[in-house]
Amino acid sequence: MNNSKIEKLLTIEEIKNLRIKYAHALDKNDIETASLVFSEDAVCQTDRDPWNGRQEIKAGLEKAFKDYDTYNRGRYPFLHLVSNHLIEINDDNTASGSCYLIDNVTEREPNENPLLLLGIYRDEYKKIDEQWFIVSSTLDVVWPFDDKK
């Protein structure tokens, strides 16, 4: 990788923006844009069986949206807040990273706690045709703790 500090910062910002773009798109039901941050062969592991490939990721997100839009408002009933990005550049074409997820439910009453979960996204990135993509994503839910696992 070019050792320029500015180039490195620009690369880190481009990679960080993938997860931010995903959160914004997901929360406004733009599943197409949300799925495009993943490579064609990406693997995405959340609290369900893994989704393999961009088409499975897109289909999984569409199903989740239908499952959770219980009031038929046409929007995801969550607000995904991502922060504390840590990106490690491995070489010119690969990187690893993580960030925190604070997931809030937007359809709860004002007197109810809106917090749904706290998690950590652990992602692997790859530069393909001069564009960065998430190639592997795992969401580790750290709260609430599932003692059944």
> How confident is the chain (149 residues) per 10-residue block, as mean pLDDT?
84 98 94 97 91 97 88 86 98 98 93 96 98 97 79
Looking at residue 70, what is its pLDDT? 83
Which residue is listed with tokens 């994503």?
137
Which domains does the chain show, CATH number per domain? 5-143 (3.10.450.50)
Contact (CB, 8 A) for 27 and 79: yes
Looking at residue 73, what is its pLDDT? 83
CA distances from 140 to 3, 10, 75 (A): 32, 27, 24
Helix (H, G, I), strand (E, B) or coil at 106: coil
Q: What is the largest CA-CA distance in the chain?
A: 52
Contact (CB, 8 A) for 14 and 92: no
Cut 0.85: pTM above it: yes
Looking at residue 149, what is its pLDDT? 54
Looking at residue 72, what is its pLDDT? 86
Looking at residue 35, what is its pLDDT? 97
Looking at residue 98, what is its pLDDT? 98
Looking at residue 47, what is its pLDDT? 79
Q: Is 33 exposed, middle or buried (0-12, 13-18, 19+ CB in 10 A)?
A: middle
